[in-house]
Structure formats: structure tokens, C-alpha cells
Amino acid sequence: MAPEQKPDHEEEHFKPRGTVLIMVLFFFTIVALWGYVYLIMVSQGANTP
């Protein structure tokens, strides 16, 4: 028996909310960790080669 085909309009309106949430969390995690290390580097002051 062939699997039931979903109508096209259902696929068009599919919203990957879980994936978007994971990607947003990933985005802010990367930005927060990168920014934390960057601020440590800046707080340690200048040096020259």
C-alpha cells in the first residue's frame, strides 16, 4: 500500500520551530563565548611586537 501523500500546501507552510530554536541558541552561545574571551583579551591590555 503506497504511503499517503500530503498536500503541497502543508509542506509550504511547515515551520521548523525546533530547528530555529536550536540555531538561535547556538548563535547566542557562540556570540556570548566569543565576546567573553574577547573582553578578557581587551582587559589584559596592549602589547606590541
Partner 1 sequence: MTTPPSQTPEPSVHIDPYERGWIIAAIVMLVVFALAVAVASYSLGIQLPSPEARVDPNTISSTGPFANPGLRELAPGRYEAYILAIGQGWYFNPREITVPAGSEVTFYITSPDVQHGFKLEGTNVNMMIVPGQVSSLTRRFDEPGEYNWVCHEYCGTGHAAMYGTLIVTP
Question: How distant is the alpha carbon of residue 42 from its chain centre?
Answer: 26
C-beta of 6 vs 15, nearer to partner 1: 15
For residue 47, the minimal CB distance to partner 1 (Å) is 4
3-state SS assignment for residue 4? coil
C-alpha Rg value of the chain to the nearest Å: 22
The per-residue DSSP string of 15-26 comes to: --HHHHHHHHHH
Binding to partner 1 by CB under 8 A, coded x per residue (else -) over 16-45, reads x--xx--x---x--xx--x---x--xx-xx
In the complex, the residues that contact partner 1 under the rule CB under 8 A are 16, 19-20, 23, 27, 30-31, 34, 38, 41-42, 44-49
